[in-house]
Amino acid sequence: MDLESSKAKMNAKAETTQSSQMVFFFGPEGTDGNAAMKAILGGKGANLAEMISIGIPVPPGFTISTAVCTKFYEDGKKLPEVVWEDVLKNISRLEKSMGKKFGDPANPLLVSVRSGARASMPGMMDTILNLGLNDETAEGLAQISKNSRFAFDSYRRFIQMYSNVVMGMNSSILDITMEDIKDVKGAVNDTDLTAEDLRKLSETFKKKVFETTGKKFPTIPMDQLKGAISAVFESWNTPRAITYRKLNDIPDSWGTAVNIQAMVFGNRGDDSATGVAFTRDPSTGEKKFYGEFLINAQGEDVVAGIRTPRPVTELQKAMPAAYEELVGIYTKLEKHYRDMQDIEFTVEQNKLWMLQTRTGKRSAEAAVRIAIEMLKEKLISEEEALLRVDPYSLDQLLHPRLDPDAKRTQLAKGLPASPGAAFGQIVFTPEEAEKFAEDGKKSVLVRIETSPEDIHGMAVAQGILTTRGGMTSHAAVVARGMGKCCVAGCGDIEIDYDRETMTVRGHTLKKGDSITLDGGTGEVFLGEVKTVEPKLSADFDALMKLADKHKKLGVLTNADTPKDAATARRYGAEGIGLCRTEHMFFDSERIDVVREMIVAENTTDREKALEKLLPMQKSDFAQLFEEMAGFPVTIRLLDPPLHEFLPQSDEEIKNLATKLHIDGARLKSKVLSLHEFNPMLGHRGCRLAITFPEIYNMQSRAIAEAVVDVMKRKKLVVTPEIMIPLVGTAKELAILRKQCESEVQKVQAKSGVSFKYKIGTMIELPRAALTADEIALVADFFSFGTNDLTQTTMGLSRDDSGKFLNAYVSQGIFEKDPFVSIDQKGVGHLVKLAVDLGRKSKSDLKVGVCGEHGGDPASVEFFHRAGLDYVSCSPYRVPIARLAAAQAAVRKT
């Protein structure tokens, strides 16, 4: 019976037993659970039951269900009486199965007590081994095993674990006592202590426990068991467990199960051992048996690092028979579970026992390789292969990384705003960054925050570090778009622009000092930390090809420059979903022309300045059309408020006035008059074109002329898509569409070249979504600008929300940062509404998204379900979006 059919069969049972059965036995005599019952038995318990049912040697035991954990807390942290009665019954069953008796010095049954939640929470909760030992049973164990050393080693371990986990004693007290005794005895390893040393140690330990806690160490095994079960349930709510669940989206309500299992002993002598292993290399994905073991040790020793474990393949020499069996079992487990397994085993007197199997965690690189290789091995289907790789994790593969072996000194930690690594000399202005670049020096641009005027500096810096702003601040968004490393909102750093220094906890660095950023963790390091370049494997390409085969959504890119466009094409983008024309305005040779246009006092002057901009824009567009060679290119007309292009300081204003030959005071008053209280909600987007039609007219003409140029020169068929931002009413779009069409038609008539084009709009205001049926009548396509739609729907400024967003996420008000992953209930509701309304008016309406959410896997899945045609994201997110889109398609079917 393989896992799937076992799941199917047992699910019914799981459903019916869920409400009544609290304790589930597993052993050769009969097993109540299976792998599908993780919700009730936890991952560990479910897999132990499953392994037994497929004939793998597992010490028998029983699992107290997760439902009891809930009851435990409801009853004020008390184990319900009925459950305890069930536990006693199962102990009897276990005694029969093992032929031993709990607390019987003649032949004592010892058990382990372990937590096991539905989702793996490694190291987060507690474990007690060797439970059932007291002075008498320890003596009995020594006699039966003819191994006093083993018996008292087990005993002292039990006292250590129990006193810590159940009695709440600081574990270092007994650790220190043990070290003291090792010193006295001249012992290097624990194994150097004799049986007699260990027997005395258990006495000393018990005394220490009494001295420290004021309580006698419990000697009755049933009392020990009851205490241990309660302690495991309580460990569900330790602060570290709570934090772990928050970080990993595990609901508090799930609770943990408790597994009570007959002990087997890897510490019973040199014919015993314990180990952990993976069925494939979790770091590279290579198909080889990978793990470690220790002779004469209990499981904890391998992980604890007290002794240095040996590679698992060496077990072949040490215990050939056990190794042979282990290889057979791991192969069987991987086939059965159809995924790479992370296993724990113990050999007791040459007999192999399996203590755990679970799906192994792996690096992104390994995940890709394992998925593709298992597909080739026909172990899994294409759909499964796609689902085996976390799209988020691909980010790691696309950017340079810090060499994991390199030494480093951490200076501060901010938000991991854009992945990758960057090393360079500190500069504080974009101009300095350019100067450094001209001199062939690498720089890191350090700013309190960035603005569109900094882009030229960001483009030439190796990385960007800001002290303010969140994951979706200007710096973060632009850096991700550029595929450039960025650490944002690093509040510990104070910048003094005047002195050109940055200070972090008393340590001051000046311009020219070197730092290294890790955009994947948000860390800032002193000096240079070596990096390694990413190499995309053939497996990666195979996975992407597979994704494209299955996905329904188109994946386009947000790109403003031919370089961005080329990168995105390399990563598989099927066109440009958003080209922000304003980014072309900040170029140093253009910005003054742009400013001339803005300060113009009348339409004629404005048109004159726009005439100068036209050839520049035309050449920009032509380059993009060439680069995208026939793929759609969606160009958004001017969006930001005009004041973003003007200088703000008195000196800059004075300089500009001189350059433009106008009165300084007049320019200053123009700058002041353009000031806005809430620029996000101000005079921007299509509102600019309603008041100054000549701006969009110039841009429409530039687009049309660029199309003509490329069609003539390159014989390419170009179909531009003109996108009008910030539309709130159908009338706005109708007015601007007409103007735009008229400009394009004029160019077509004049050139004699005809081409198709689309005119569409961004849906980024709630009102646009609510009236999408009307807007669709005058739009060829919709592109959701989910950044701004999130800002307006939630009334949440992206640039200002940093001050409270953490509190909102940590208090569970927002599940995730809504600028990172779309708020499905609120913003998503409007997206769905607009898609439905839009298609009702125009069934073939093309609908996509071009906000930051286009590269977020959870959001991509949502957009797939909402019926969008495409997503558009920054170039480095294209592979993530492709995989996420494929997963969405696979999950839906």
- Judged by CB under 8 A, the residue of 504, 796, 820, 858 near a second copy is 796
- Pick the closer one to a second copy by CB: 342 or 732: 732
Residue type, 582: E
Measured CA to CA, the distance from residue 115 to residue 416 in angstroms comes to 33
H-state helical runs in 518-561: 538-550
Task: Point out which span in 20-28, 801-809, 857-865, 883-891 binds a second copy (CB under 8 A).
Answer: 801-809
Contact between 680 and a second copy per CB under 8 A:
yes
Q: Distances in Å between the alpha carbon of 641 and those of 503, 638, 646, 683, 767?
A: 34, 9, 10, 6, 20
Contact between 841 and a second copy per CB under 8 A:
no
Contact between 497 and a second copy per CB under 8 A:
no
Annotate each residue in 735-764 with x if it binds a second copy (CB under 8 A) or - if it does not, as one string.
x----------------------------x
**Contact positions with a second copy (CB under 8 A) in 228-287:** none
Asked if 109 contacts 260 with a C-beta cutoff of 8 angstroms, the reply is: no
Measured CA to CA, the distance from residue 620 to residue 614 in angstroms comes to 10
What is the residue whose two structure tokens read 């005058």? 778
What's the closest the beta carbon of residue 818 comes to a second copy, in angstroms? 9
Contact between 731 and a second copy per CB under 8 A:
yes
3-state class (DSSP) for residue 803: helix
- Judged by CB under 8 A, the residue of 88, 679, 746, 839 near a second copy is 679
Contact between 562 and a second copy per CB under 8 A:
no
- Pick the closer one to a second copy by CB: 716 or 734: 734
Contact between 216 and a second copy per CB under 8 A:
no
Contact between 163 and a second copy per CB under 8 A:
no
Tell me, letter by letter, the H, E, C secondary structure of 378-418. Answer: CCCCHHHHHHCCCHHHHHHHHCCEECCCCCCCEEEECEEEE
What's the closest the beta carbon of residue 691 comes to a second copy, in angstroms? 5
Residue closest to 178 by CA, chosen among 268, 163, 130? 163
Asked if 110 contacts 130 with a C-beta cutoff of 8 angstroms, the reply is: yes
What's the closest the beta carbon of residue 558 comes to a second copy, in angstroms? 21
- Judged by CB under 8 A, the residue of 80, 105, 562, 766 near a second copy is 766
- Pick the closer one to a second copy by CB: 716 or 794: 794
Contact between 788 and a second copy per CB under 8 A:
yes
- Judged by CB under 8 A, the residue of 681, 711, 753, 809 near a second copy is 681
Contact between 794 and a second copy per CB under 8 A:
yes
- Judged by CB under 8 A, the residue of 335, 530, 829, 839 near a second copy is 829
Contact between 665 and a second copy per CB under 8 A:
no
Crossing angle of helices 3-17 and 38-53, in 10° steps, is 130
Contact between 814 and a second copy per CB under 8 A:
yes
Name residues whose C-beta falls within 8 Å of residue 97's C-beta, 6 or more positions apart in sequence: 27, 28, 29, 60, 262
Contact between 501 and a second copy per CB under 8 A:
no
Question: Would you give the end-to-end CA distance of the chain in angstroms?
Answer: 25
Other Cβ atoms less than 10 A from the Cβ of 568: the count is 30
Contact between 799 and a second copy per CB under 8 A:
yes
- Pick the closer one to a second copy by CB: 235 or 467: 467
488 φ, ψ to 5°? -115, 160
Q: Exactly one of 850, 853, 864, 873 is catalytic; which is it?
A: 850
Contact between 825 and a second copy per CB under 8 A:
yes
Name residues whose C-beta falls within 8 Å of residue 365's C-beta, 6 or more positions apart in sequence: 283, 284, 285, 396, 397, 537
3-state class (DSSP) for residue 122: coil
- Judged by CB under 8 A, the residue of 12, 803, 843, 844 near a second copy is 803
Number of residues in the chain: 893
Helix (H) or strand (E) run with residue 187 in it? none
Tokens of 890: 């696979």
Contact between 800 and a second copy per CB under 8 A:
yes
Contact between 893 and a second copy per CB under 8 A:
no
Contact between 715 and a second copy per CB under 8 A:
no
What's the closest the beta carbon of residue 801 comes to a second copy, in angstroms? 8
Measured CA to CA, the distance from residue 847 to residue 868 in angstroms comes to 5
Task: Point out which span in 70-78, 187-195, 315-323, 677-685 binds a second copy (CB under 8 A).
Answer: 677-685
What's the closest the beta carbon of residue 662 comes to a second copy, in angstroms? 18
Contact between 452 and a second copy per CB under 8 A:
no
Number of residues that bind a second copy (CB under 8 A): 48
Residue closest to 869 by CA, chosen among 848, 853, 890, 851? 848
What's the closest the beta carbon of residue 726 comes to a second copy, in angstroms? 7
Degrees to nearest 5, angle at CA 172 with 200 and 204: 15
What's the closest the beta carbon of residue 594 comes to a second copy, in angstroms? 19
What's the closest the beta carbon of residue 410 comes to a second copy, in angstroms? 25
Crossing angle of helices 538-550 and 364-376, in 10° steps, is 70
3-state class (DSSP) for residue 309: coil
- Pick the closer one to a second copy by CB: 429 or 451: 451
Contact between 332 and a second copy per CB under 8 A:
no
Q: Distances in Å between the alpha carbon of 486 and those of 399, 458, 476?
A: 12, 10, 6
What's the closest the beta carbon of residue 774 comes to a second copy, in angstroms? 8
Task: Point out which span in 236-244, 505-513, 656-664, 811-819 binds a second copy (CB under 8 A).
Answer: 811-819
- Pick the closer one to a second copy by CB: 332 or 687: 687
Measured CA to CA, the distance from residue 522 to residue 169 in angstroms comes to 36
Active site residue 850: yes
Q: Exactly one of 474, 550, 643, 853 is catalytic; which is it?
A: 474
3-state helix, strand, coil in the chain (%, to 5): 50, 15, 30
Measured CA to CA, the distance from residue 385 to residue 259 in angstroms comes to 32
- Judged by CB under 8 A, the residue of 224, 462, 792, 821 near a second copy is 792
Q: What is the DSSP letter of 190?
A: G
Q: Distances in Å between the alpha carbon of 689 and those of 562, 590, 760?
A: 26, 20, 15
- Judged by CB under 8 A, the residue of 590, 767, 816, 865 near a second copy is 767
Contact between 588 and a second copy per CB under 8 A:
no
Task: Point out which span in 257-265, 316-324, 806-814, 867-875 binds a second copy (CB under 8 A).
Answer: 806-814
Residue closest to 501 by CA, chosen among 493, 492, 511? 511
Contact between 691 and a second copy per CB under 8 A:
yes
- Judged by CB under 8 A, the residue of 683, 714, 758, 839 near a second copy is 683
Contact between 718 and a second copy per CB under 8 A:
no
Name residues whose C-beta falls within 8 Å of residue 120's C-beta, 6 or more positions apart in sequence: 43, 358, 361
- Pick the closer one to a second copy by CB: 88 or 735: 735
Crossing angle of helices 195-213 and 171-185, in 10° steps, is 150
Active site residue 474: yes
Measured CA to CA, the distance from residue 100 to residue 94 in angstroms comes to 8
Measured CA to CA, the distance from residue 495 to residue 497 in angstroms comes to 6
Task: Point out which span in 114-122, 170-178, 265-273, 722-730 binds a second copy (CB under 8 A).
Answer: 722-730
Name residues whose C-beta falls within 8 Å of residue 711's C-beta, 6 or more positions apart in sequence: 717, 718, 753, 755
Degrees to nearest 5, angle at CA 617 with 616 and 623: 95
Annotate each residue in 624-663 with x if it binds a second copy (CB under 8 A) or - if it does not, as one string.
----------------------------------------
Residue type, 702: A
What's the closest the beta carbon of residue 149 comes to a second copy, in angstroms? 56
Using CB under 8 A, list all residues that contact a second copy.
Answer: 676-683, 687, 690-691, 726, 728-729, 731-732, 735, 764-767, 770-771, 788, 791-797, 799-801, 803-804, 807-808, 811-814, 823, 825-827, 829-830
Catalytic residue ranges: 474, 850
